[in-house]
Structures are given as C-alpha cells and as structure tokens.
Amino acid sequence: MVEILRHGWLLARKDLLVEFRSRTAILSAVVFTVLVLLVFNFGRDPTAVAAVDLAPSILWVTFTFAAVLALNRAFQLELENQALDGLLLAPVSRASIYLGKLVANLIFVAVVEGVGLPLFALFFNVAILPVLGPLLVVIALATVGFVAVGTLFSAMTARTRFAELLLPVLLLPFMLPPLIWAVLATAALLAGRPLSEATAWLRFLAAFDLVFVTLAFLLFPATVNE
C-alpha cells in the first residue's frame, strides 16, 4: 500500500511538473472557463431568469467542460515518446499509475475551479461566502467522481485516433448523475436553504465517488494492458 502511494505521488508530481513547464492545458482550461462564464454572463437576460436560479447549472457546465479539456491531456503526455510503455514495464503496480493520474488530474481541475469560482461569484453576483464551506464540499465530491471516471476513460481513449472527440462522448453520460446532484445541491445552498436540504445530494455524490473510484481502480489495468 505504501509502495502504491509512493509511486502514485511520484507520477502525480511528474505530471504536475510537466504541466507547470508547458502550461498549455491549464491555460486552455482556465481561458475556456473565463470565456464560458463571460458568454453566459452577457448572453442571458437578467430580467427573465434570476441569476441564482441559473447560476448552479452554469457553474457545473463550465466546470464539466473545463475538466474534459484537462482530462484529455492526462495520457496524451505519456504517448509522447512512448513513455507509457516505460511506465508499464517499470516495477510499479497499475494502481499506482492510476492513482498518480487521478491525483494530478484532481489538482489540475481544482486549480481551474479555484479560478472559476470567484469569477462565477463576480459575474453572477452570487453570494458564495456564506455557504463557502458546504459549497466546497459539493465541488470536491462532484469533482472526485467525474475525474475518477474521466481518468479511466482518458486511458481508454488515449491510443485511439480521435481521443479528443471520443472522451467527452464516452464520459458525459457517466458525468450526468454527479452533475445533476451537484447542481441540485449547489442550487439549494445558493438559495439559502438549510444544509439538511442538500444532504441527500451530498450522500449520493459520496456514494458515486466510492463506487466509481473503486471500479476505476479495478478496471484500469484492463485499459492499459495489451
């Protein structure tokens, strides 16, 4: 177990260093997030629908597509120079490789969300500070779920010819349940409803995480083995 964690962290650290040096994917995802929020901000009629009703869906649509952009790069960088074969040949478990990718993707998506959330509050004039704690829990639970599934699908599609197109097509149906629950929980929190009203959605999100993180760990070897 310690070995899995240690090797996983080595891989995650390497991925983050590579991304820090190139900054291509993170910049694309951040710019995408800002643009989508801008478009929704100027493209809506504030007199027709209240911002607080629209905001949760916009927040999660933005995070979802920004995450897909980020997830696309997870295994692409291993295909450059066939580094993936080197990883598979090394005496590290497949679980370590998956864990490393998962952690790197989570940090990556968290950075994008960290930029997006204040801009979302600014553009939509939504008071997030009073509910920041519970909102961060919702964001964390939903992010773990779809990044876990996304990392698995990213490994599956990386060696296909149309990986960038295939990943969202495969991933979005699996992202629907956590996305719906996250939108409902966020809506309840932003509307100032008691936390107990969002608890059910939080439980669903936690259950989704548990099931899909476990499944992803179990299925990952099959996606990379020849």
* Residues that bind other proteins in the complex, under the rule CB under 8 A: 7, 10, 14, 17-18, 21-22, 77, 80-83, 85-92, 226
Shortest Å distance, C-beta 217 to other proteins: 19
Shortest Å distance, C-beta 130 to other proteins: 42
Burial tier of 27 (Cβ tally within 10 Å: 0-12, 13-18, 19+):
exposed
- Looking at the Cβ atoms of 10 and 35, the one nearer to other proteins is 10
Shortest Å distance, C-beta 226 to other proteins: 5
* CA-CA-CA-CA torsion sign (76, 81, 83, 86): positive
Long-range contacts of 187-194 (CB under 8 A, 24+ apart): 187/53, 187/56, 189/131, 189/134, 189/135, 189/138, 190/52, 190/55, 190/56, 190/126, 190/127, 190/128, 190/131, 190/135, 191/52, 192/130, 192/131
Shortest Å distance, C-beta 219 to other proteins: 18
- Looking at the Cβ atoms of 92 and 128, the one nearer to other proteins is 92
C-alpha to C-alpha distance for 110 and 104, rounded to whole angstroms: 10
In this structure, what DSSP letter does residue 93 have?
-
H and E: helices and strands count for the chain: 8, 0
End-to-end CA distance of the chain: 25
- Looking at the Cβ atoms of 77 and 144, the one nearer to other proteins is 77
- Looking at the Cβ atoms of 107 and 172, the one nearer to other proteins is 107
Shortest Å distance, C-beta 21 to other proteins: 4
Shortest Å distance, C-beta 224 to other proteins: 10
- Looking at the Cβ atoms of 87 and 213, the one nearer to other proteins is 87
- Closest by CA to 192, choosing from 116, 117, 129, 123, is 129
Residue written as token pair 């909102």 = 135
- Looking at the Cβ atoms of 77 and 189, the one nearer to other proteins is 77
| Three-class SS state of 75 | helix
